[in-house]
A = this chain, B = another copy of it.
Amino acid sequence: MEQIKIIIAGPRGRMGSEAVKLVTNQDHFELSAVVDHKYDGMMLSDLEGFHSIHNVPVYSNIETCLQNVQADVLIDLTTPEVGMHHAKTALAYNVRPVVGTTGFTTSDLEELERICQERQLGCIIAPNFAIGAVLMMKFSQMAAKYFNDIEIIELHHDQKLDAPSGTAVKTAEMISAVREEKSQGHPNEKETIQGARGATFNGMHIHSVRLPGLVAHQQVLFGSDGQTLTIRHDSYHRGSFMSGVKVAVESVMTQNTFVYGLENILE
């Protein structure tokens, strides 16, 4: 594979520091520079936790960085506001952005899409980089064409505040886009204790389990006469996101359009 030159914005964050590890561990990836709002002009090896990574300059200004460093891809793991500015600037310098933040507005996304089209460049915005989770959602959507009856069980540690999880709702939305509308369960079904049948989303049911010890898990169950199909994702730690970053970087090099969501580049 050809060498891909990469700039990482946000290298000291939780995701960013994993991304630095990823890029420096891949033979066909090369870390050209990092963008960090502090530490302009230093070397990455001067920063705590990165002492062994040599010859990588730190810039605080994305434009200065792009003027001085040759790169193919920008991995941005900062914030939506900063990420939008970084992505637009990168495209102006013919560098393809891979952005891992959520919270972009619709007009942001439309603007990026327009720029990508004008410049015929790839750009990937991915709210979820865990490839297993994205495949779970994609497969669930595919299976929903053949199975009308679907229940989602998501299981998380008991410090999680909201139920159902964002991933469960996203899964249900993706399924709803293709599933023939149906109110599941027996029409005369009765809850003898309120809530037993879970949350209802377009006739499907979502159940949120919370227990100490759990990390982040979800299973989607499909049933029809005589059979069930189950798709389950277990996430044990943050490292799980990095496989998705790798795929996105490789994919963005071959794209010349804007892509929102990892599910659209997984075949």
Residues of B close to A186: CB separation below 8 A? 158-161, 210
Q: In the complex, what's the smallest C-beta–C-beta distance from A67 to chain B, in angstroms?
A: 35
Assess whether B161 is in contact with A190, with CB atoms less than 8 Å apart. Answer: yes
* Contact status A235-B240, CB under 8 Å: no
Q: Which residue from B163, B221, B237, B241 sits with its C-beta under 8 Å from A197?
A: B163
28 pairs, CB–CB < 8 Å, chain A vs chain B: A130-B227, A132-B228, A133-B227, A139-B139, A145-B266, A145-B267, A146-B243, A153-B207, A158-B184, A160-B189, A161-B186, A163-B192, A196-B207, A196-B208, A198-B209, A207-B207, A212-B223, A212-B224, A212-B225, A213-B234, A215-B236, A225-B242, A226-B235, A226-B236, A226-B240, A227-B233, A230-B231, A231-B232
Considering only CB atoms and an 8 Å cut-off, how many residues of chain A contact the other chain?
80
Residue of B nearest to A172 (CB): B193
A153 neighbours in B (Cβ, 8 Å): 153, 207, 209
Residues of A bordering B, CB below 8 Å: 130-133, 135-136, 139, 142-143, 145-147, 149-151, 153, 155, 158-164, 169, 184-186, 188-201, 205-215, 219, 221-243, 247, 266-267
A209–B152 alpha-carbon span in the complex (Å): 9
- In the assembled complex, which residues on chain B have CB atoms less than 8 Å from the CB atom of A234? 213, 227-230
Q: A214-B223, A234-B230 are in contact. Are A151 and B209 (CB under 8 A)?
A: yes
Are A231 and B231 interface neighbours, CB within 8 A? yes
Complex CA gap A186/B160 in Å reads 7
A195's partner among B194, B226, B229 (CB-CB below 8 A) is B194
Which B residues touch A236, using CB under 8 A?
213, 215, 226-228, 236
